Amino acid sequence: MKSDKNPLSNAAASVDRGAWTDTDTVWPIETWLFNRFMQLIGEPAISVVFWDDREHYRCPHTIPVARMRFADRSTFWRLFANPNLEFGDGYSAGRIRIEGDLVTFIEALYEAKIRRTRPGILQQFVKRGLARPRRNSLAGSRDNIQHHYDLGNDFYRLWLDEEMAYTCAYFTDPSVTLEKAQAAKLDHIARKLQLRPGEEVVEAGCGWGGLARHFARWYGVKVRAYNISPSQIAYARERAKAERLDDRIEYIEDDYRTIQGTYDAFVSVGMLEHVGAEHYATLGQVVDRVLKDNGRGLIHSIGQIRPEPPSAWNEQRIFPGANPPTLRRMMDIFEGPGLSVLDVENIRLHYAKTIEHWLARYEAHEAGVRDMFDDFFVRAWRLYLAASIASFRAGALELYQVVFARPGKNDMAWTRAHLYRD
Amino acid sequence: MKSDKNPLSNAAASVDRGAWTDTDTVWPIETWLFNRFMQLIGEPAISVVFWDDREHYRCPHTIPVARMRFADRSTFWRLFANPNLEFGDGYSAGRIRIEGDLVTFIEALYEAKIRRTRPGILQQFVKRGLARPRRNSLAGSRDNIQHHYDLGNDFYRLWLDEEMAYTCAYFTDPSVTLEKAQAAKLDHIARKLQLRPGEEVVEAGCGWGGLARHFARWYGVKVRAYNISPSQIAYARERAKAERLDDRIEYIEDDYRTIQGTYDAFVSVGMLEHVGAEHYATLGQVVDRVLKDNGRGLIHSIGQIRPEPPSAWNEQRIFPGANPPTLRRMMDIFEGPGLSVLDVENIRLHYAKTIEHWLARYEAHEAGVRDMFDDFFVRAWRLYLAASIASFRAGALELYQVVFARPGKNDMAWTRAHLYRD
């Protein structure tokens, strides 16, 4: 069934469609320019074939891991004009093709970038490709979140697990199933929070509500869960009712800034990426207001080592308003109210593994996605998933779980050994 | 044997010595002012007796946990003039006495401070009592470190463990001995670093050299350890030779900024407190320069939730140049070279427990300390140890262990479970 919610239909229309192979001769200046560009981005381990079907770049240090092809001159020059946006759009439109594994190709780009010690020149060069994320005011957040999360539950159901968890799973062993790893993530968080039966938990940004269901079912706690995506809230309420958990869970369609009440634990999994650094101090005030004296909290978020603006393509096509924080920036949440950080765990490779599962399921349902949307969408989301795997593998993105409590809370577990007991 | 290195002899001489009880009448303005001051610092759960032997302050909310006594009017007004310095000097000179447990008394002060949400007014009031730490240039660091660490190995031997570890131990269980907990700390660090036999480790700030001995003996690695305290280096070299570890350990009397060579692991335990925030970026450059591509590192340091300047008393009498970082500030080390933070563990209660052991041993050797120095020194160091316990218990100080590696280092342990296996 065709979805009426394809947010990429305008983008697809804006990309020219010509014949795949343009027989125009490649000018020497084009080869020279492209090689200069490859030097600037650290000479990634790829080769590049132009529209004359000939190789014009080949990594000088090592055997290329994948090959990129330009359909035509127009795509080539668009890429120069705005590399960050046009690589994604060119790929989505089928004007840029990758031969070999897409994830490995993108990993090669990240590895080249990280090898370069000083990003100065490149930053200047690709500045136009970097975006200022859209603002996450109360109204802006709704627009941004709906662009992504309201693509339809049917779409996400195709490639997420049963519980519709759309955040990093925790693989106690890399070989366990996605379903088990998503449940293990929730157990890991519940253990970090040291939940006790009868306690009250508030969740900021609850997605399709899986954490609340898991905590209510297995830890005997009450959960009040906030989310501004109507379709996610509707789904979450329906499932809680069907599973007779609705006496212990309250899903509220509202912004984290409106949280009322006081709680034993505050938890937020995969929301901070969408909060915007300028609102971290506000989030800290919310936590301070709603946490009981004896309370503790956990924030699980994609992060980065250094502050880098999001790519224009990701910002415009996939995830408006998203901007993963550095650990330094996250301290804006905790320092104001004087909360004590107890534990930070970086599980970025678990996110690479999680998205490998998603991409495999996505590929298996490619036809279904094409039916709902179109070919441009299919390729755009493939690129998004593949690039995400590559980012987490290369360390261009991190995944932080941060546990915190008020200072002087002295009844927490003496060591972290309890997290690892069977 | 009298030590010729008593750094507090001038301070002791500067404090007036009068009769213990001054029979002068207390003026109403003094009672009023003192109660106003107690309100400003959050009404700590103590009572206070003035030189007329009568109680002039009593916490209105709860039963006082300890009582403070002023010897005379002069001590009272000195405290008002410079609370942070004069409390310590007054206590050390015996002009301020605490009845009840000293640690509990100081904890009550910290708890009151933390209860107060806005420190603004108090900060203004006691500003004179807060110090700018001395600068830690290459020469300045030497002076600062020698003030504290070169009090003499004989002094520290009285109350530290066998291996002379002067940093937070790790108690797998609160009831284990200090000796076991200090060894467990080193094992915990070695596991976090995932050391393998034959690897090369560099240590910045090695104290009396215990970590290097432990790693060389039990993990089969080579260690090059830097320290600018001559008496510590001399001790460390002697022990390594006696224990036939000198083929695997090199102790170097020099600053961390001069570290040469490249290593599989970088480790620093209890040095960062003395580095000074303005040098964190430099430390990051050093780490970046000496760490192999596949290397990883660990920094273990006292920390704090919010940036607070050190107390004037601690700065002038005990630990010049010391200033525990916030986690935000620590990111100055990692962000520049783009190092990835993998794990942060806050074990502040382990430091409270460690210093409880030290204080008990110190009290047991009180006579020995008095023989080496004098009564003022005995009380000053008792206050320092007791205040440290109280700080870690109340969460006024934290203890962070931060593990890091270069981005894209994908062969680290998949989870942290290996840290907790027997």
pLDDT in tens, A182-192: 999 999 999 99
A184 CB within 8 Å of a chain B CB: no
Chain B residue with CA closest to A393: the answer is B408
CATH number of B117's domain: 3.30.1050
Q: What is the pLDDT of residues B82-135, one digit of tens each?
A: 888 999 999 999 999 999 999 999 999 998 887 765 444 444 444 445 555 566
Indicate whether B4 belongs to any domain: no
Question: Which of B350, B415, B416 should be substituted to probe chain A, the one whose Cβ sees the most A Cβ atoms within 10 Å?
Answer: B415
- Cβ contact B305–A395 (<8 Å): no
- Residue A346 clears pLDDT 90, i.e. is over it: yes
C-alpha distances out from residue B268 to B136, B202, B272, Å: 17, 8, 8
Length of chain A: 422
Chain A residue with CA closest to B412: the answer is A349
Residue B310 confidence (pLDDT): 79
Q: Which residues of A touch B414 (CB under 8 A)?
A: 171, 173-174, 349
B422 CB within 8 Å of a chain A CB: no
Question: At which of A99, A129, A159 does a domain end?
Answer: A129
**How many domains is chain B partitioned into structurally?**
2
Question: At which of B105, B129, B153 does a domain end?
Answer: B129
Based on the fold, state whether residues A228 and A109 are members of the same structural domain. Answer: no
| Cα–Cα distance measured from residue A190 to residue B339, given in angstroms and rounded to the nearest whole number | 29
| Cα–Cα distance measured from residue B190 to residue B208, given in angstroms and rounded to the nearest whole number | 18
Based on the fold, state whether residues A99 and A67 are members of the same structural domain. Answer: yes
Based on the fold, state whether residues B208 and B146 are members of the same structural domain. Answer: yes
Picking from A306, A395, A420, the nearest residue to B408 by CB comes out as A395
Indicate whether A3 belongs to any domain: no
Based on the fold, state whether residues A235 and A306 are members of the same structural domain. Answer: yes
Based on the fold, state whether residues B202 and B306 are members of the same structural domain. Answer: yes
- Cβ contact A343–B341 (<8 Å): no
Based on the fold, state whether residues B55 and B155 are members of the same structural domain. Answer: no
Q: Which residues of A touch B343 (CB under 8 A)?
A: 344-346
Based on the fold, state whether residues B112 and B151 are members of the same structural domain. Answer: no
- Cβ contact B343–A345 (<8 Å): yes
Based on the fold, state whether residues B121 and B152 are members of the same structural domain. Answer: no
Based on the fold, state whether residues A282 and A375 are members of the same structural domain. Answer: yes
Q: How close does chain A come to B132, measured CA to CA in Å?
A: 21
Residue A133 confidence (pLDDT): 57
Q: Which residues of B touch A103 (CB under 8 A)?
A: none
Question: At which of B78, B107, B129 does a domain end?
Answer: B129
Q: How close does chain B come to A342, measured CA to CA in Å?
A: 5
Picking from A173, A327, A409, the nearest residue to B341 by CB comes out as A327
CATH number of B263's domain: 3.40.50.150
* Residue A18 confidence class, pLDDT cut points 50, 70, 90: low
- Cβ contact B343–A342 (<8 Å): no
A340 CB within 8 Å of a chain B CB: yes
B3 CB within 8 Å of a chain A CB: no
Bridge partners, A401 (sequence order): A300, A345
Indicate whether A381 belongs to any domain: yes
Among A23-32, A171-180, B243-252, B364-373, the least confident range: A23-32
Per-residue pLDDT tens listing for chain B (422 residues): 677 778 887 777 777 555 555 568 999 999 999 999 999 999 999 999 999 999 999 999 899 999 999 999 999 999 988 888 999 999 999 999 999 999 999 999 998 887 765 444 444 444 445 555 566 777 777 777 667 767 788 999 999 999 999 999 999 999 999 999 999 999 999 999 999 999 999 999 999 999 999 999 999 999 999 999 898 999 999 999 999 999 999 999 999 999 999 999 999 999 999 999 999 999 999 999 999 999 999 999 999 999 888 788 888 888 887 889 999 999 999 999 999 999 999 999 999 999 999 999 999 999 999 999 999 999 999 999 999 999 999 999 999 999 999 988 999 999 999 999 98
Chain B residue with CA closest to A407: the answer is B395
| Cα–Cα distance measured from residue A267 to residue A298, given in angstroms and rounded to the nearest whole number | 5
- Residue A1 clears pLDDT 70, i.e. is over it: no
Q: How close does chain A come to B252, measured CA to CA in Å?
A: 30
Q: Are B250 and B200 in contact (CB under 8 A)?
A: no
Residue A303 confidence (pLDDT): 97
pTM of the model: 0.92
- Residue A221 clears pLDDT 80, i.e. is over it: yes
- Cβ contact A342–B342 (<8 Å): no
Residue B125 confidence (pLDDT): 47
Based on the fold, state whether residues A222 and A261 are members of the same structural domain. Answer: yes
Locate tokens 């003035």: which residue? B50
Residue A283 confidence (pLDDT): 98
Of the candidates B210, B286, B305, the residue with the CA atom closest to the CA atom of residue B249: B210
Q: What is the pLDDT of residues A304-342, one digit of tens each?
A: 999 888 788 888 888 887 889 999 999 999 999 999 999
DSSP string, B65-123: SEEEEES-HHHHHHHHH-HHHHHHHHHHTTSEEEES-HHHHHHHHHHHHHH-S--HHHH
Indicate whether B267 belongs to any domain: yes
A116 CB within 8 Å of a chain B CB: no
Indicate whether A4 belongs to any domain: no
Q: What is the pLDDT of residues A377-411, one digit of tens each?
A: 999 999 999 999 999 999 999 999 999 999 889 99
Residue B118 confidence (pLDDT): 47
Picking from A338, A342, A394, the nearest residue to B346 by CB comes out as A342
- Residue A80 clears pLDDT 80, i.e. is over it: yes
SS3 content of chain B, % helix, strand, coil (to 5): 50, 15, 35
What is the rounded average pLDDT of the residues A9-13? 77
Size of interface A-B (CB pairs under 8 A): 116
Q: Which residues of A touch B409 (CB under 8 A)?
A: 395
Based on the fold, state whether residues A143 and A93 are members of the same structural domain. Answer: no
* Residue numbers of the domain that contains B71: 9-129
B299 CB within 8 Å of a chain A CB: no
Indicate whether A1 belongs to any domain: no
- Residue A131 clears pLDDT 60, i.e. is over it: no
Indicate whether B334 belongs to any domain: yes
Residue A128 confidence (pLDDT): 44
- Cβ contact B335–A394 (<8 Å): no
Based on the fold, state whether residues B309 and B202 are members of the same structural domain. Answer: yes
| Cα–Cα distance measured from residue A220 to residue B150, given in angstroms and rounded to the nearest whole number | 56
A77 CB within 8 Å of a chain B CB: no
